[in-house]
Amino acid sequence: MTSPLQRFHPFIPAGGVGSRLWPLSRADAPKFLLDLTGSGSSLLRATYDRLEGLSAGPLMVVTGRSHAGAVQEQLPELSATDLVLEPSPKDSAAAIGLACTLIERRDPTAIIGSFAADHVVEPAQAFQDVVREAIQAADTGRIVTIGITPSSPATGFGYIKAGRSLGLEQAPHALTVEQFVEKPDEETARQYVASGRYTWNAGMFVAPVGLMLDYLRRSEPELAKGLDRIADAWETTERDAVVDEVWPTLTKTAIDYAVAEPAAAAGDVAMVPGDFTWEDVGDFAAINRLNKVDPQTDSQVSILGSNKRVLADESSGIVVSDTARLIALIGVDDIVVVDTPDALLVTTAEHAQRVKNAVDSLKRNGDTDVL
Amino acid sequence: MTSPLQRFHPFIPAGGVGSRLWPLSRADAPKFLLDLTGSGSSLLRATYDRLEGLSAGPLMVVTGRSHAGAVQEQLPELSATDLVLEPSPKDSAAAIGLACTLIERRDPTAIIGSFAADHVVEPAQAFQDVVREAIQAADTGRIVTIGITPSSPATGFGYIKAGRSLGLEQAPHALTVEQFVEKPDEETARQYVASGRYTWNAGMFVAPVGLMLDYLRRSEPELAKGLDRIADAWETTERDAVVDEVWPTLTKTAIDYAVAEPAAAAGDVAMVPGDFTWEDVGDFAAINRLNKVDPQTDSQVSILGSNKRVLADESSGIVVSDTARLIALIGVDDIVVVDTPDALLVTTAEHAQRVKNAVDSLKRNGDTDVL
């Protein structure tokens, strides 16, 4: 058998609008298609670039049908076979399960890797080193997650409680997983971080494809059967017809419930700690952190987007704009201004999480033209 | 001789951009052309309507040539003879002096009234009662100013120190003026208000036209001669040519220096106190005061302009917008958001006075397209 590194087939589930980033993120411009770091690349493109060197074959992307054009524009090298289009959102078990089912047909000995399209990871080298170790650990017959060393007692993520070392020669940092825990309150999060035994759950999985599918077939047999029917038709002219027929019947459930938690309970999950910078860019406070102001200038305002016509007087915070408008800030601190042609958001970093509530209000009010 | 009320000829000097109201006010959309109260009328139109019932003849408006079209649109009843157009700004002595000179030709016994185009006065009835008393006082051979009863120790206005009652039968509230004082500091303003002897100087004058021009001819003889030359040509085909020739040569000075202060020193100035609501709408804090939120709603945000698509979540302040954009405010207090097609201002009521500095910066930076 070849080295596990040569059997590694990562894929990218690209879903989720990112409501907390409205009005920057929209139904037709979801978070993963945005450049939130000022790098000039969308988060999807950056994720693809970070994984490409590790992959044994072409990378696969799973996304909504309505994003097909935008994704192909970002990733012109992606073939139609590797662009998996969901007719409607069916949660992560269907999306990840379909990618696994398709990869199994290509190489039943594959080690898969699932990496969300909308996270920021730096530096890429440190990330790749950790993934290589996760691949080695996965090849011992485990579902391996990457646990991010917490930089703060964040309450927006789930945590992973690690156990003892697995003592693997090729994966010396791999640990057993005692438990996945839900998003904690602040006091609990503080205890987790202080204990040194908890890491952030970034939703990254590396695993033998057969093991992933064994768990999926056991916990969601109907879903798995549906995915098999789609995979049977994938390389035929029947693909679209079968997808249209089967997809609406699939069970909507999360991969955590269908695979990760039963596998953890059975002792089949391991964790490799990742000591790189990881940010899920969940809200504008995160964007503010990622786009630190240039210490060479006097300005305390970060500017993201193509619009550089910003006048800031005794102000701090972030301006995001691709319009041609002149934006003047006077005496406002930690402000967040997001300026788009049809919608304007004014809030503060402190209230960044509340943006989702505003989006919910807009939905209720029927203001769907700006969502 | 007819009653002085039948010889009253008020006019409206309509000048000044109102830089502190940028980006709502612009060179081509000065403050007096805006509706800042949500009434549906521009400040100029409201000023005209307030004076029309008092006037013995057609009202006169003095404004910049570039505003001719906009003023005529606001005041379609204004004839070309009564629309006095300045080729360039020459300060108030030239503007008010020209109106007086033109009115003197029509009726040498006229009582003139000068009322700025960009103030908010309410209720009109109370204002008119005070003006009628000022007309009666003026007819005794005095320049009469209207002193606004201070509602706060404001530092943005000059003050008038009143003396004893003039004991006039037709103008029982008229007082002598001891002194005009410049904008005070806060401590001094507090003392002024506490003393009960000081009122705000709103720049309103009511006076026999001959007395106004006597003072002007004495203190600025060259200016007065130039205005006479223009008045001689006013009803002829030479009007524009003479204005173009003479106007650039006129001295630039304020009516306060040319007329009001020398007249006060000579004991020729009186004051009638005005106990109506008066607001010069100098900045967005003033607009905020003028547009109190509807107590029937939960919202703490006043909305001015045609755009009603504002979503406010735990926010207070004011939004001014004529765009079609949706504006979401989340967790921002006392905020001022002014949304125009080419410029956006975000500040707070507290920093409203600093808007002028921002406009100055834009001028220095060459961003004149948005001024």
Write the pLDDT tens digit of every residue in A118-168.
999 999 999 999 999 999 999 999 999 999 999 999 998 999 999 999 999
Cβ atoms of A202 and A115 within 8 Å: the answer is: no
Confidence label for A6 from pLDDT (cuts 50, 70 and 90): very high
Instruction: Judge if B323 and B259 occupy the same domain.
Output: no
Q: How many CB pairs below 8 Å do chains A and B form together?
A: 124
Asked whether B31 and B37 are in contact (CB, 8 A), the reply is no
- Give the helix, strand, coil percentages of chain A, each rounded to 5: 40, 25, 35
**How does DSSP assign B190-208, residue by residue?**
HHHHHHT-EEEEEEEEEEE
Residue A185 domain flag: yes
- Is A285 part of a structural domain of the chain? no
Beta bridge partners of residue B148, listed in sequence order: B200, B274
CA distance A59 to A102: 12
Taking every pair of Cα atoms in chain B, the longest distance, rounded to a whole number of angstroms, is 65
Chain B neighbors of A350, CB-CB under 8 A: 331
Same domain for B327 and B355, yes or no, is yes
Closest CA to A145 of A181, A120, A195: A181
- Shared domain for B237 and B346, answered yes or no, is no
pLDDT of residue A288: 85
| Per-residue pLDDT at A1 | 67
- How many domains are there within chain B? 2
- What residues of chain B lie within 8 A of the CB of A331, using their CB? 347-348, 350-351, 354
Last residue of a domain, one of A279, A313, A332: A279
Contact A328 B358 (CB under 8 A): yes
pLDDT-derived band at A55 (thresholds 50, 70, 90) equals: very high
Cα distance between residue B46 and residue B32, in whole Å:
10
Tell me the CB-side half-sphere exposure of residue B219, using CA atoms within 13 A.
21
Distance from CA of A291 to the nearest CA of B (A): 21
Query: What's the pLDDT score for residue A48?
Result: 98
Transcribe A56-73 into DSSP letters: SS--EEEEEGGGHHHHHH
Considering only CB atoms, B325 lies closest to which of A328, A332, A342, namely A342
Q: How far apart are the CA of B295 and the nearest CA of chain A, in angstroms? A: 22
Tens digit of pLDDT for each residue in B276-316? Answer: 999 999 899 888 888 766 655 667 898 888 878 999 999 99
DSSP per-residue letters across B245-266: HHGGGS----HIIIIIHHHHHT
Residues of A in contact with B23 (CB under 8 A): 326, 328
Residue-averaged pLDDT of chain A: 93
Q: Which residue has the tokens 């800030």?
A: A329
Task: Based on the fold, state whether residues A255 and A301 are members of the same structural domain.
Answer: no
**Of residues A187, A227, A180, the one with CA closest to residue A205:** A180
Tell me: pLDDT of A333 over 70: yes
- CA distances (Å), origin A82, targets A58, A190, B239: 7, 42, 79
**What is the DSSP pairing of strand B269-274 with strand B175-181?**
antiparallel
Beta strand extents in A93-235 (DSSP E only): 111-114, 120-122, 143-148, 159-165, 175-181, 198-208
> For residue A346, is it within any domain?
yes
Confidence of residue A307 (pLDDT cuts 50, 70, 90): confident
pLDDT score at B136: 98
CA atoms within 13 A on the CB side of A257: 9
Task: Let me know whether B107 and B195 are in one domain.
Answer: yes
Residues A51 and A9 sit within 8 Å (Cβ to Cβ)? no
Q: Which residues contact A85 (CB under 8 A, 6 or more apart)?
A: A63, A64, A65, A68, A243
| CA A64 from centre of chain | 15
Q: Which residues of B touch A307 (CB under 8 A)?
A: none
* Interface confidence (ipTM) of the complex: 0.85
Tell me: do A275 and A338 sit in the same domain.
no
Instruction: Please give the pLDDT value at position B305.
Output: 83
Q: What is the torsion angle, in degrees rounded to the nearest 10, for the CA atoms of residue A131, residue A137, residue A143 and residue A147?
A: -50
Which amino acid belongs to residue B249?
Answer: T
- Decide which of B259, B279, B299 is a domain's last residue: B279
Q: 3-class SS at A134?
A: helix
Helices (H), chain B: 43-52, 68-74, 91-106, 124-138, 186-195, 209-219, 221-233, 239-246, 255, 261-265, 284-290, 355-365
Tokens of A306: 């193509």
Tell whether A327 and A262 lie within a shared domain.
no
> Within 10 Å of residue B210's Cβ, how many Cβ atoms?
14
Residue A78 pLDDT level (bands cut at 50, 70, 90): very high
pLDDT band of A238, cuts 50, 70, 90: very high
Does residue A295 carry a pLDDT above 70?
Answer: no
Say if A53 falls within a structural domain: yes
Shared domain check, B333 and B262? no
Residue B1: count of CB within 10 angstroms of its CB: 7
Residue A286 lies in a domain: no
Specify if A287 maps to a domain: no
Read off the DSSP letter of residue B221.
H
**Best of A329, A330, A350 to mutate (most B CBs within 10 Å, chain B):** A330
The one-letter amino acid code at A159 reads: Y
Query: ω before A13 within 30° of 0 (cis)?
Result: no
**DSSP 8-state symbol, B156:** S
Burial A142-156 (b: 16+ CB within 10 A, else e): bbbbbbbebeebbee
Query: How far, in Å, are A2, A138, A291 from residue A170 at the CA level?
Result: 15, 11, 37
Shared domain check, A311 and A207: no
Q: How far apart are CA B53 and CA B40, in angstroms?
A: 20
CB pair distance less than 8 Å for A327 and B337: no
Q: Specify whether A240 is located in the same domain as A354.
A: no
Q: Which of A279, A314, A343 is the last residue of a domain?
A: A279
The answer to whether the CB atoms of B351 and A331 lie below 8 A apart is yes
- Tell me the nearest-neighbour CA distance from B250 into chain A, angstroms: 37
Q: What percent of chain A has pLDDT over 70?
A: 98
Chain B nearest CA to A331, separation (Å):
6
Which pLDDT belongs to residue A306? 81
The answer as to whether A154 is a domain residue is yes
- What CATH code is carried by the domain that includes residue B126? 3.90.550.10
From chain A, the residues in CB contact with B327 under 8 A are 343-344, 346
Is A114 strand, coil or helix? Answer: strand
Give the pLDDT band (50/70/90) at residue A2. Answer: confident
CA distances from B185 to A284, B161, B167, B294, B343 (A): 42, 16, 33, 34, 33
Of the candidates A354, A365, A370, which has its C-beta nearest B330's C-beta? A354
Is the CB of B367 less than 8 angstroms away from the CB of A331?
Answer: no
* A268 and A296 inside one domain: no
Q: Which positions ≥6 away from A302 have C-beta within 8 Å?
A: A288, A291, A292, A293, A317, A318, A319
Contact state of B344 with A344 under an 8 Å Cβ cutoff: yes
**Which residues are registered as beta bridge partners of B12?**
B61
Low-confidence ranges of chain B (pLDDT < 50): none
Torsion angle defined by CA atoms of residues B188, B193, B194 and B195, in that order, rounded to the nearest 10 degrees: 90
Do A268 and A300 reside in the same domain of the chain? no
Domain limits for position A310:
292-370
